[in-house]
Protein backbone atom coordinates (compact mmCIF):
# COMPACT_ATOMS: atom_id res chain seq x y z
CA UNK A 1 0.00 0.00 0.00
CA UNK A 2 1.39 3.41 -0.96
CA UNK A 3 1.66 5.79 1.95
CA UNK A 4 1.93 9.31 0.54
CA UNK A 5 2.04 10.74 4.08
CA UNK A 6 5.72 9.84 4.44
CA UNK A 7 7.64 11.98 1.96
CA UNK A 8 11.41 12.36 2.10
CA UNK A 9 12.95 12.25 5.56
CA UNK A 10 9.64 11.26 7.18
CA UNK A 11 9.65 8.08 5.13
CA UNK A 12 13.25 7.38 6.13
CA UNK A 13 12.37 7.87 9.78
CA UNK A 14 9.40 5.53 9.53
CA UNK A 15 11.48 2.82 7.83
CA UNK A 16 14.15 3.06 10.53
CA UNK A 17 11.46 2.93 13.22
CA UNK A 18 9.82 -0.09 11.56
CA UNK A 19 13.04 -2.07 11.75
CA UNK A 20 13.74 -1.01 15.32
CA UNK A 21 10.22 -2.05 16.33
CA UNK A 22 10.62 -5.46 14.65
CA UNK A 23 14.07 -5.94 16.19
CA UNK A 24 12.74 -5.04 19.66
CA UNK A 25 9.84 -7.47 19.23
CA UNK A 26 12.32 -10.21 18.37
CA UNK A 27 14.32 -9.49 21.52
CA UNK A 28 11.21 -9.48 23.74
CA UNK A 29 9.97 -12.66 22.08
CA UNK A 30 13.30 -14.34 22.80
CA UNK A 31 13.18 -13.29 26.48
CA UNK A 32 9.60 -14.49 27.00
CA UNK A 33 10.37 -17.80 25.34
CA UNK A 34 13.54 -18.21 27.39
CA UNK A 35 11.59 -17.83 30.65
CA UNK A 36 8.91 -20.20 29.34
CA UNK A 37 11.60 -22.67 28.18
CA UNK A 38 10.32 -22.62 24.59
CA UNK A 39 12.48 -22.46 21.51
CA UNK A 40 12.19 -19.50 19.14
CA UNK A 41 14.61 -20.98 16.62
CA UNK A 42 13.71 -20.78 12.95
CA UNK A 43 14.02 -24.22 11.41
CA UNK A 44 17.06 -24.98 9.29
CA UNK A 45 16.10 -26.56 5.97
CA UNK A 46 19.33 -28.54 5.70
CA UNK A 47 18.97 -29.89 9.22
CA UNK A 48 15.40 -31.03 8.55
CA UNK A 49 16.25 -32.33 5.07
CA UNK A 50 19.06 -34.56 6.38
CA UNK A 51 16.83 -36.11 9.03
CA UNK A 52 13.65 -36.37 6.97
CA UNK A 53 13.77 -38.74 3.97
CA UNK A 54 12.51 -37.17 0.73
CA UNK A 55 10.89 -39.44 -1.83
CA UNK A 56 10.79 -37.06 -4.77
CA UNK A 57 10.86 -33.44 -5.87
CA UNK A 58 8.72 -31.48 -8.33
CA UNK A 59 8.19 -27.85 -9.32
CA UNK A 60 4.74 -26.38 -8.63
CA UNK A 61 5.31 -23.00 -10.26
CA UNK A 62 4.21 -19.68 -8.77
CA UNK A 63 1.73 -20.07 -5.92
CA UNK A 64 0.15 -17.78 -3.37
CA UNK A 65 1.20 -19.29 -0.04
CA UNK A 66 0.17 -18.48 3.57
CA UNK A 67 2.85 -16.44 5.33
CA UNK A 68 2.20 -18.21 8.65
CA UNK A 69 3.02 -21.57 7.03
CA UNK A 70 6.61 -20.48 6.37
CA UNK A 71 8.56 -22.09 9.21
CA UNK A 72 12.19 -22.22 8.15
CA UNK A 73 15.01 -21.05 5.94
CA UNK A 74 17.77 -22.54 3.84
CA UNK A 75 20.51 -20.07 4.76
CA UNK A 76 19.09 -17.35 7.04
CA UNK A 77 17.72 -19.43 9.93
CA UNK A 78 20.13 -17.71 12.35
CA UNK A 79 19.11 -14.18 11.30
CA UNK A 80 15.40 -14.48 12.18
CA UNK A 81 13.33 -16.15 14.87
CA UNK A 82 10.36 -18.46 14.25
CA UNK A 83 8.13 -15.41 13.65
CA UNK A 84 10.70 -14.09 11.15
CA UNK A 85 11.53 -11.19 13.48
CA UNK A 86 15.09 -9.93 12.88
CA UNK A 87 17.63 -11.06 15.49
CA UNK A 88 20.70 -9.12 14.30
CA UNK A 89 21.28 -5.52 13.25
CA UNK A 90 23.29 -6.60 10.19
CA UNK A 91 19.94 -7.42 8.56
CA UNK A 92 18.85 -3.77 8.87
CA UNK A 93 19.84 -2.41 5.44
CA UNK A 94 18.22 -5.22 3.46
CA UNK A 95 15.15 -5.23 5.72
CA UNK A 96 14.70 -1.48 5.35
CA UNK A 97 15.00 -1.65 1.53
CA UNK A 98 12.17 -4.21 1.47
CA UNK A 99 10.10 -2.11 3.84
CA UNK A 100 10.64 0.95 1.62
CA UNK A 101 9.43 -1.04 -1.40
CA UNK A 102 6.25 -2.01 0.49
CA UNK A 103 5.57 1.59 1.54
CA UNK A 104 6.10 2.96 -1.97
CA UNK A 105 4.20 0.22 -3.84
CA UNK A 106 7.24 -1.23 -5.58
CA UNK A 107 6.32 -4.70 -6.86
CA UNK A 108 8.76 -7.30 -5.59
CA UNK A 109 9.44 -10.61 -7.32
CA UNK A 110 8.06 -13.82 -5.78
CA UNK A 111 10.12 -15.45 -3.07
CA UNK A 112 11.52 -18.95 -3.60
CA UNK A 113 10.56 -21.75 -1.22
CA UNK A 114 10.71 -25.49 -0.66
CA UNK A 115 7.46 -27.13 0.42
CA UNK A 116 7.56 -30.07 2.84
CA UNK A 117 4.15 -31.32 3.86
CA UNK A 118 2.05 -28.23 4.60
CA UNK A 119 4.96 -25.92 5.45
CA UNK A 120 7.56 -23.90 3.55
CA UNK A 121 11.28 -23.15 3.86
CA UNK A 122 12.65 -19.97 2.28
CA UNK A 123 15.40 -20.38 -0.27
CA UNK A 124 15.36 -16.72 -1.34
CA UNK A 125 13.31 -13.88 0.17
CA UNK A 126 13.76 -14.13 3.95
CA UNK A 127 13.68 -10.35 4.44
CA UNK A 128 10.54 -10.12 2.29
CA UNK A 129 8.86 -12.68 4.53
CA UNK A 130 9.97 -10.80 7.65
CA UNK A 131 8.57 -7.49 6.41
CA UNK A 132 5.38 -9.15 5.14
CA UNK A 133 4.72 -10.73 8.56
CA UNK A 134 5.42 -7.45 10.33
CA UNK A 135 2.90 -5.71 8.07
CA UNK A 136 0.24 -8.34 8.70
CA UNK A 137 0.35 -9.71 5.16
CA UNK A 138 -1.52 -13.02 4.99
CA UNK A 139 -0.25 -14.39 1.66
CA UNK A 140 2.87 -13.99 -0.43
CA UNK A 141 3.69 -15.06 -3.99
CA UNK A 142 6.34 -17.76 -4.23
CA UNK A 143 8.10 -20.07 -6.66
CA UNK A 144 7.43 -23.43 -5.03
CA UNK A 145 9.45 -26.65 -5.23
CA UNK A 146 7.64 -29.44 -3.40
CA UNK A 147 9.49 -32.30 -1.72
CA UNK A 148 7.46 -35.43 -1.11
CA UNK A 149 7.81 -36.84 2.39
CA UNK A 150 6.18 -39.66 4.33
CA UNK A 151 3.77 -38.43 6.98
CA UNK A 152 2.71 -34.84 7.56
CA UNK A 153 4.42 -31.58 8.47
CA UNK A 154 2.36 -28.68 9.84
CA UNK A 155 3.30 -25.28 11.21
CA UNK A 156 4.05 -25.58 14.91
CA UNK A 157 5.19 -29.19 14.65
CA UNK A 158 8.32 -30.20 16.47
CA UNK A 159 10.90 -31.57 14.02
CA UNK A 160 11.25 -34.76 16.04
CA UNK A 161 7.47 -35.24 15.81
CA UNK A 162 7.57 -34.79 12.04
CA UNK A 163 10.39 -37.30 11.70
CA UNK A 164 8.56 -39.72 13.97
CA UNK A 165 5.39 -39.41 11.86
CA UNK A 166 7.38 -40.03 8.69
CA UNK A 167 9.04 -43.06 10.27
CA UNK A 168 5.64 -44.37 11.36
CA UNK A 169 4.26 -43.97 7.84
CA UNK A 170 7.27 -45.87 6.44
CA UNK A 171 6.89 -48.56 9.12
CA UNK A 172 3.21 -49.08 8.33
CA UNK A 173 3.92 -49.16 4.60
CA UNK A 174 6.77 -51.63 5.03
CA UNK A 175 4.89 -53.97 7.39
CA UNK A 176 1.34 -53.45 5.98
CA UNK A 177 0.42 -53.89 9.65
CA UNK A 178 -2.74 -51.77 9.40
CA UNK A 179 -4.03 -53.99 6.62
CA UNK A 180 -3.26 -57.14 8.56
CA UNK A 181 -4.55 -55.77 11.87
CA UNK A 182 -6.78 -52.70 11.37
CA UNK A 183 -6.90 -52.04 15.13
CA UNK A 184 -3.11 -52.04 15.50
CA UNK A 185 -1.90 -48.72 16.88
CA UNK A 186 1.87 -48.74 17.36
CA UNK A 187 2.61 -45.16 18.32
CA UNK A 188 6.09 -44.12 19.47
CA UNK A 189 6.88 -40.74 21.01
CA UNK A 190 10.58 -40.64 20.09
CA UNK A 191 12.35 -40.73 16.71
CA UNK A 192 14.35 -43.76 15.50
CA UNK A 193 12.15 -46.27 17.34
CA UNK A 194 10.37 -47.58 14.26
CA UNK A 195 13.68 -48.66 12.78
CA UNK A 196 14.25 -50.73 15.92
CA UNK A 197 10.82 -52.34 15.53
CA UNK A 198 11.66 -53.33 11.96
CA UNK A 199 14.90 -54.86 13.22
CA UNK A 200 12.91 -56.83 15.83
CA UNK A 201 10.71 -58.23 13.06
CA UNK A 202 13.73 -59.15 10.92
CA UNK A 203 15.35 -60.99 13.85
CA UNK A 204 12.05 -62.70 14.66
CA UNK A 205 11.77 -63.79 11.01
CA UNK A 206 15.28 -65.27 11.14
CA UNK A 207 14.50 -67.31 14.25
CA UNK A 208 11.23 -68.51 12.68
CA UNK A 209 13.17 -69.70 9.63
CA UNK A 210 15.75 -71.47 11.79
CA UNK A 211 13.03 -73.20 13.78
CA UNK A 212 11.04 -74.27 10.72
CA UNK A 213 14.06 -74.96 8.53
CA UNK A 214 12.23 -73.09 5.79
CA UNK A 215 11.94 -69.61 4.35
CA UNK A 216 9.38 -67.41 6.16
CA UNK A 217 7.56 -64.71 4.23
CA UNK A 218 7.79 -61.12 5.47
CA UNK A 219 4.00 -60.97 5.90
CA UNK A 220 4.00 -64.09 8.10
CA UNK A 221 6.91 -62.75 10.14
CA UNK A 222 5.10 -59.46 10.74
CA UNK A 223 1.95 -61.25 11.87
CA UNK A 224 3.85 -63.64 14.11
CA UNK A 225 5.88 -60.84 15.70
CA UNK A 226 2.75 -58.78 16.36
CA UNK A 227 0.75 -61.67 17.85
CA UNK A 228 3.50 -63.57 19.66
CA UNK A 229 5.97 -60.87 20.71
CA UNK A 230 4.45 -57.40 20.69
CA UNK A 231 0.91 -58.07 21.96
CA UNK A 232 1.93 -60.41 24.83
CA UNK A 233 4.22 -57.72 26.24
CA UNK A 234 1.54 -55.06 25.75
CA UNK A 235 -0.86 -57.29 27.72
CA UNK A 236 1.69 -57.46 30.56
CA UNK A 237 2.03 -53.67 30.48
CA UNK A 238 -1.75 -53.28 30.70
CA UNK A 239 -2.30 -55.89 33.38
CA UNK A 240 0.34 -54.35 35.60
CA UNK A 241 -0.78 -50.76 34.79
CA UNK A 242 2.82 -49.82 34.08
CA UNK A 243 1.89 -47.03 31.68
CA UNK A 244 0.57 -44.95 34.61
CA UNK A 245 4.13 -44.66 35.86
CA UNK A 246 5.33 -43.12 32.58
CA UNK A 247 3.20 -40.07 31.70
CA UNK A 248 3.17 -38.94 28.06
CA UNK A 249 4.63 -42.27 26.90
CA UNK A 250 2.90 -45.05 25.02
CA UNK A 251 2.62 -48.83 25.14
CA UNK A 252 4.93 -49.02 22.13
CA UNK A 253 7.55 -46.91 23.97
CA UNK A 254 7.39 -49.27 26.92
CA UNK A 255 7.58 -52.30 24.62
CA UNK A 256 10.91 -51.06 23.23
CA UNK A 257 12.31 -50.09 26.62
CA UNK A 258 11.24 -53.29 28.37
CA UNK A 259 12.61 -55.47 25.54
CA UNK A 260 15.93 -53.62 25.90
CA UNK A 261 15.76 -54.07 29.67
CA UNK A 262 14.91 -57.77 29.23
CA UNK A 263 18.03 -58.25 27.13
CA UNK A 264 20.23 -56.82 29.87
CA UNK A 265 18.50 -58.89 32.56
CA UNK A 266 19.12 -62.06 30.54
CA UNK A 267 22.74 -61.05 30.03
CA UNK A 268 23.27 -60.46 33.76
CA UNK A 269 21.37 -63.58 34.92
CA UNK A 270 22.63 -65.79 32.08
CA UNK A 271 19.19 -67.40 31.90
CA UNK A 272 15.71 -66.77 30.51
CA UNK A 273 13.70 -64.02 32.22
CA UNK A 274 9.87 -63.96 32.02
CA UNK A 275 8.28 -60.95 30.33
CA UNK A 276 6.29 -60.04 33.43
CA UNK A 277 9.39 -60.11 35.60
CA UNK A 278 11.23 -57.86 33.14
CA UNK A 279 8.30 -55.44 32.97
CA UNK A 280 8.02 -55.20 36.75
CA UNK A 281 11.78 -54.79 37.11
CA UNK A 282 11.76 -52.01 34.55
CA UNK A 283 8.88 -50.19 36.29
CA UNK A 284 10.56 -50.47 39.69
CA UNK A 285 13.83 -49.02 38.41
CA UNK A 286 12.65 -46.33 36.02
CA UNK A 287 9.12 -45.27 36.96
CA UNK A 288 8.52 -41.53 37.36
CA UNK A 289 8.75 -41.52 41.10
CA UNK A 290 11.93 -39.61 40.35
CA UNK A 291 11.97 -36.85 37.77
CA UNK A 292 15.12 -38.11 36.04
CA UNK A 293 14.06 -41.74 35.64
CA UNK A 294 13.88 -41.84 31.84
CA UNK A 295 17.11 -39.92 31.50
CA UNK A 296 18.81 -42.29 33.95
CA UNK A 297 17.49 -45.24 31.95
CA UNK A 298 19.09 -44.07 28.73
CA UNK A 299 22.30 -43.08 30.51
CA UNK A 300 22.61 -46.60 31.94
CA UNK A 301 22.04 -48.16 28.54
CA UNK A 302 24.70 -45.89 27.02
CA UNK A 303 27.13 -46.72 29.84
CA UNK A 304 26.59 -50.46 29.46
CA UNK A 305 27.10 -50.33 25.70
CA UNK A 306 30.22 -48.27 26.16
CA UNK A 307 31.70 -50.93 28.41
Question: Are 84 and 26 contacting, i.e. CB atoms less than 8 angstroms apart?
Answer: no
What pLDDT score was predicted for residue 27? Answer: 86
Question: Are 293 and 250 contacting, i.e. CB atoms less than 8 angstroms apart?
Answer: no
Counting beta carbons within 10 angstroms of the beta carbon of residue 141, is it exposed (0 to 12), middle (13 to 18) or buried (19 or more)?
A: middle
Give φ, ψ of 243 to 5 degrees: -60, -30
- Structural domains in the chain, sorted by start: 8-149 (3.90.1530.10), 159-306 (no CATH)
> Confidence band (pLDDT; 50, 70, 90) for 113?
very high
Asked whether the predicted pLDDT for residue 2 surpasses 60, the reply is no
Give the residue-averaged pLDDT of 47-76: 90
Residue of higher predicted confidence among 305 and 134:
134
Question: Are 122 and 75 contacting, i.e. CB atoms less than 8 angstroms apart?
Answer: no
What pLDDT score was predicted for residue 3? Answer: 46
Spatial CA neighbour of 115 closest among 80, 78, 153: 153
- DSSP letters spanning 88-122: SGGGHHHHHHHHHHHHTTPPPPPEEEEEETTEEEE
Question: Are 116 and 148 contacting, i.e. CB atoms less than 8 angstroms apart?
Answer: no
Nearest 5°: the CA angle 197, 201, 206 is: 145
Among 59-68, 156-165, 287-296, whose mean pLDDT is lowest?
A: 287-296
What pLDDT score was predicted for residue 51? Answer: 77
**Cα first-last separation, the chain:** 66
What pLDDT score was predicted for residue 270? Answer: 60
CA distance 119 to 144: 11
The H or E element containing residue 56 is strand 54-66
Interior/surface letters 157-167, b for 16+ CB within 10 angstroms, e for the rest: bebebbbbbbb
Residue of higher predicted confidence among 216 and 156:
216
What pLDDT score was predicted for residue 5? Answer: 55
What pLDDT score was predicted for residue 297? Answer: 42
Asked whether the predicted pLDDT for residue 254 surpasses 50, the reply is yes
Give the residue-averaged pLDDT of 295-306: 44
Q: Across the strands, what pairs with 124?
A: 112
Among 18-22, 63-67, 100-104, 264-268, whose mean pLDDT is lowest?
A: 264-268
Helix axes 251-269, 293-306, angle to 10 degrees: 40
Asked whether the predicted pLDDT for residue 271 surpasses 70, the reply is no
What pLDDT score was predicted for residue 274? Answer: 62
Amino acid sequence: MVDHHFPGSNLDQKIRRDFEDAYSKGFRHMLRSWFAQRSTRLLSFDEVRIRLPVRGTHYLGVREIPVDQIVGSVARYQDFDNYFLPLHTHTRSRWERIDRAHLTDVILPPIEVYKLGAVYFVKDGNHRVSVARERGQVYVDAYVVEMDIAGEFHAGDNVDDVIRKAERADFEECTVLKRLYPDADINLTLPAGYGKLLEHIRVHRWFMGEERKARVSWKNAVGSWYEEVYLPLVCVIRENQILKEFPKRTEADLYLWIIEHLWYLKEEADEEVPLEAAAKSFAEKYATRTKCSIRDFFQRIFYRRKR
